[in-house]
Structure 1
C-alpha cells in the first residue's frame, strides 16, 4: 500500500490516464511547470517566515 491507501496499481492506472489525456510530448513541460510552482511556493514561504520574524523582533524592540 502506498500513499493514503493508494496502491501501485492505482498509481499506474492514473499515470496511464494522464498520458492518454496530455500525451507524452506535453508531460515533461507540465512536470517542469509543476516543479517551478512548488519551488516558488517554498521560497515564498521562507520569505514570509523571515519577514514575520523581523516584524516580531521590531515589535519587541519597540516595547522596550
Structure 2
C-alpha cells in the first residue's frame, strides 16, 4: 500500500496514448527535447559571455595598469630632464 506499482504506470501510459495518440506524443516529445536543448545552449552562451566579460575586464585592468606605469615613467624622465637643464 502507498506506492505506485508498475501496473498502475502501465495503465496510465496506455490511457495517455489512447487520449493523445502516438503522433501527438511524438511531436510533444520533440518539442520538449528542443526546448531543453535551447535552454542548455542559452545557459552555455550566458556562461561564455560572462567569461568573455571577465577576460575583457582583466585585459582592460592590465592595460590601464601598464598605461599608468608608462605615464609615471614618462613623467619621471621629463622631471629628470628638467632637473638636469
User: TM-score w.r.t. structure 1 length?
Assistant: 0.67
Higher relative contact order (CA 8 A, sep 6+): 1
Provide the rounded CA distance (Å) in 2 between the counterparts of 1:44 and 1:28.
24
Number of equivalenced pairs: 60
Give the RMSD, CA atoms, in angstroms: 2.4
Q: 1:28 aligns with which of 26, 35, 41?
A: 26
1:27 CA displacement: 0.3
Q: Which runs of 4+ in 1 moved over 2 A?
A: 5-25
Give deviations 1:3-61, integer Å, cap 9, x for gaps: xx976456445534533442323100000000111111111111111111000111111
- 1-structure distance, mates of 2:45, 2:16: 34
Give me the whole-angstrom Cα distance separating, in 2, the residues matched to 1:54 and 1:6. Answer: 49
Match runs of 1:1-64 below 5 Å: 8=6, 11-12=9-10, 14-64=12-62
